[in-house]
């Protein structure tokens, strides 16, 4: 399903960019399919990361890896795992109801360069945006935003003026963010399910 969705969105973007033609598959051996494939990952990551979209929000208890045993490296803080499929962290909380924020928690890197979360808390709850998944339910307004973002990149690559597309993109992004405000869908992951969202 996600491949058909990508093709549909890319074809909408091609049309909006003023280019002729269509693609049948993102993996077909054409210049336009290659261009769309190159643009897709960065475009969707950009769109997903600029706003806390309701359908991308996850709440879960952070995975405590170790209590601080190296006060110099962790500045005395405990180490929690950073979810492998988190696009970005929206907040850190003390409680399961997500009412009390933790002010000392922060994202850092371990000695191997892998992202970790450091906090003085021994139990930590996090809210984060999920990266792209195969079952993304992209609403019509967010789909339009993606089409316009990809159209801008296609037009830029082809040497076309992108000012009008950029204005349309900003207007549609504003509309999408307003519509998103009325949605409150947040998936809550119980501790037993935590391992399922990490890989």
Q: Which value, to the nearest 10 degrees, does the dihedral of the CA atoms of residues 191, 192, 197, 199 take?
A: 120
Residue % of the chain over a pLDDT of 90:
52
> Is residue 197 over pLDDT 50?
no
Residue 179's pLDDT is: 86
The tokens of 64 are what?
Answer: 């405590």
Residue 92's pLDDT is: 96
β-strands 187-189, 57-61: how paired?
parallel
The tokens of 97 are what?
Answer: 């109801």
In this predicted model, what pLDDT tens digit does every residue of 65-85 receive, in sequence order?
A: 886 555 545 577 889 999 988
Integer Cα distance of 83 and 126 in angstroms: 10
> Is residue 27 over pLDDT 60?
yes
For residue 56, name the pLDDT band (cuts at 50, 70, 90): confident
> Is residue 163 over pLDDT 80?
yes
Integer Cα distance of 115 and 18 in angstroms: 41
SS3 61: strand
Cα–Cα separations (whole angstroms), residue 137 to 2, 5, 56, 107, 134: 10, 10, 9, 28, 9
> Is residue 194 over pLDDT 50?
no
pTM, rounded to two decimals: 0.71
Mean pLDDT of the chain, nearest integer: 85
Integer Cα distance of 116 and 196 in angstroms: 18
Task: Tell me the domain boundaries of the chain.
Answer: 2-52+137-181, 56-132+188-197
Cα–Cα separations (whole angstroms), residue 22 to 19, 32, 137, 152, 162: 9, 8, 23, 16, 20
> Is residue 169 over pLDDT 90?
yes
Integer Cα distance of 85 and 197 in angstroms: 7
In this predicted model, what pLDDT tens digit does every residue of 87-136 receive, in sequence order?
A: 889 999 999 998 999 999 999 887 778 899 999 999 999 999 888 666 56
């Amino acid at each position: 399903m996600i491949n058909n969705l990508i093709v549909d969105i890319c074809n909408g973007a091609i049309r909006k960019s003023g280019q002729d033609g269509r693609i049948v598959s993102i993996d077909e051996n054409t210049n336009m399919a290659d261009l769309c494939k190159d643009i897709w990952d960065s475009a969707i990551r950009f769109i997903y990361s600029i706003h806390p979209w309701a359908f991308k929000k996850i709440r879960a208890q952070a995975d405590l890896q170790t209590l601080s045993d190296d006060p110099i490296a962790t500045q005395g803080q405990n180490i929690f795992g950073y979810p492998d499929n988190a696009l970005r962290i929206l907040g850190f909380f003390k409680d399961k109801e997500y009412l009390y924020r933790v002010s000392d928690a922060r994202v850092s890197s371990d000695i191997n360069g892998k992202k970790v979360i450091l906090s003085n808390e021994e139990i930590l709850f996090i809210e984060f945006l999920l990266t792209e998944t195969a079952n993304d339910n992209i609403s019509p307004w967010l789909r339009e935003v993606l089409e316009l973002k990809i159209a801008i990149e296609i037009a830029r690559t082809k040497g076309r003026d992108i000012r009008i597309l950029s204005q349309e993109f900003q207007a549609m992004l504003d509309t999408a963010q307003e519509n998103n405000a009325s949605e409150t869908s947040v998936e809550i992951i119980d501790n037993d399910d935590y391992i399922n969202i990490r890989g």
